[in-house]
Structures are given as C-alpha cells and as structure tokens.
C-alpha cells in the first residue's frame, strides 16, 4: 500500500485517437513484462481505429507530465446477463510509478467511468477481467479493491486450430 510519502495523484484521462502511439508503447511494455510480446499484433494504426470506437475505453495516467500507466477495456454484451458489461483487458503501471497509488487511481477512474455510463444507460455495468494465476501481487491488489476472484481456465482457439477441427469434422 502506498504511504502518504510515496502516493502520487496522477492525472487520469480518457485516451483519444492522438494517444495511439502512447497506448501502443505501454501495451508493448506490459507484454514484454509478461513475456508475451510475441502475441502483440495491434499496431499504432490499429490503436487509432480502436480508440475512435466509443465502446473501447483506455484511461491514461500521467505523473509529472509523463505516461505512468493505463487501464483498458471494452463495453460488450454479456449473453448470460442480457446486458452490457465492461470487460477490462489490461491494467499496467510502469515500474517507476508502481507502489505509489497509480494503479488504484486508474481503477477509481475506471469505476467512475462505469458509474457515468450507468447514469446514461440506466444500467449498472459489471466489470470483469482476468489475472494470471502466478500474479499474486495483482490478486492481492484486486482483493483490496473488493473484487471477487474465481479460478477459471481461459481457452483460446487459434484460426489454424479451429480450421483443422472443421476439416476433421467435415471428413
């Protein structure tokens, strides 16, 4: 937990199309930190397109005029609930800004965003996200925020794999 001496009050704002290069840089840093940089396919032009979509939410934190981190998510329909949720994709704070309250401020800004959305839509939005099983510090952080953590295995089906399955199923 940040102390009064280490806590900072970042400026948090919604990223716009002009922030595409910054968001891309932060995303690559996060992927490198997680050892998954090979999986990043979206480039700056993709981020320009995504940031123009009102359902894509990226909130940037600046400390002393420099990007310190971001939280991102997508508003999407949840078929079980029959209404929209906000599926948080990433929360990333640069190493120099960690343990200074920046992550908590980003999550507070995200909460404010969904509260504002609820005023507009008349529906409270559930926020969902995943956290790696080996990210114990992240799990502690999310629990302190009041999040409920459940164990679930995430599967991904790559195009080559589902096409192979389709060929076998048709044979």
Read off the pLDDT of residues 5-58 as tens digits, 9 standing for 90 and up: 467 789 999 999 999 999 999 999 999 999 999 999 999 999 999 999 999 999
User: What pTM was computed for the model?
Assistant: 0.89
Q: Which domains does the chain have, with CATH numbers?
A: 11-129 (3.40.630.30)
Distance from C-alpha of 11 to C-alpha of 140, rounded to nearest angstrom = 24
Q: What is the dihedral of CA 142, 91, 38, 65, to 10 degrees?
A: -150
Q: What is the predicted pLDDT for the residue at 156?
A: 81
Q: Are strands 11-14 and 66-78 parallel, antiparallel or unpaired?
A: unpaired
- Strand locations in 15-137 (E): 56-63, 66-78, 83-93, 127-128
The pLDDT of residue 9 is: 86
Exposure string of 62-97, with b = 16+ CB inside 10 Å and e = fewer, is bbeeebbbbbbbbbeeeeeeeebbbbbbbbbbbeeb
Check if the beta carbon of residue 141 is closer than 8 Å to that of residue 149: no
């Amino acid at each position: 937990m940040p102390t009064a001496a280490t806590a900072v009050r970042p400026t948090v704002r919604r990223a716009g199309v002009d922030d595409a290069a910054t968001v891309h840089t932060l995303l690559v840093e996060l992927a490198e930190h997680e050892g998954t940089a090979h999986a990043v396919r979206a480039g700056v032009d993709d981020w320009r397109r995504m940031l123009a979509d009102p359902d894509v939410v990226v909130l940037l934190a600046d400390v002393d005029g420099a990007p310190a981190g971001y939280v991102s998510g997508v508003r999407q329909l949840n078929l079980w609930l029959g209404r929209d949720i906000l599926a948080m994709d990433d929360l990333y704070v640069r190493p120099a800004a960690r343990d200074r309250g920046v992550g908590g401020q980003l999550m507070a800004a995200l909460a404010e965003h969904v509260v504002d959305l609820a005023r507009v839509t008349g529906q409270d939005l559930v926020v969902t996200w995943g956290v790696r099983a080996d990210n114990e510090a992240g799990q502690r952080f999310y629990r302190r925020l009041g999040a409920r953590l459940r164990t679930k295995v995430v599967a991904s089906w790559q195009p080559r794999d589902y096409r192979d399955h389709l060929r076998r199923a048709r044979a």
